[in-house]
Amino acid sequence: MRIPILKLGRYLLISVQVELDDQTALQFQEDLLNKIHQEGSLGVVIDLTSVDMIDSFIAKVIGDVVEMSNLMGAKVVLTGIQPAVAITLIDMGVSLQEVQTALDLEQGLERLQQELGG
């Protein structure tokens, strides 16, 4: 299973709509990095509204993908993390401190625009 990556100008948009198993998550990591390279994207919004569980492995993959994207010059914003998911992550001691967040896709894009100077 592959997660679709949409291009919007200099940004990439990803809305995760499937239950994330390990293989899908790793495949996504690879696809996203290739796409950033290919398109020369400056910003990425990953929307997690439909994701109802993030365990430590998925959290690690997400944290890694953010760090890797940053290395390639693309800022990543995670959006739509559900309250239940956020509380569970905090309980587990995973706070994804380096990661930027926003409430939803719209505010995520706004945030990117602010950071990249319009």
Binding residues (CB under 8 A) for another protein: these are: 19, 21-23, 52-57, 59-60, 63, 78-96, 101-104, 107-108
Instruction: Decide whether 38 or 91 has the Cβ nearer to another protein.
Output: 91
Smaller CB distance to another protein: residue 42 or 63? 63
Under 8 Å between Cβ of 25 and 58: yes
Measured distance CA(13)–CA(17) in Å, rounded? 13
Shortest approach of another protein to residue 38 CB, angstroms? 28
Residues 6 or more apart in contact with residue 47 via CB below 8 angstroms:
13, 14, 15, 16, 79, 80, 104, 105, 108
Of 13 and 102, nearer to another protein (C-beta) is: 102
- Coil, strand or helix: which one is 76? strand
CB of 113 to another protein, least distance (A): 13
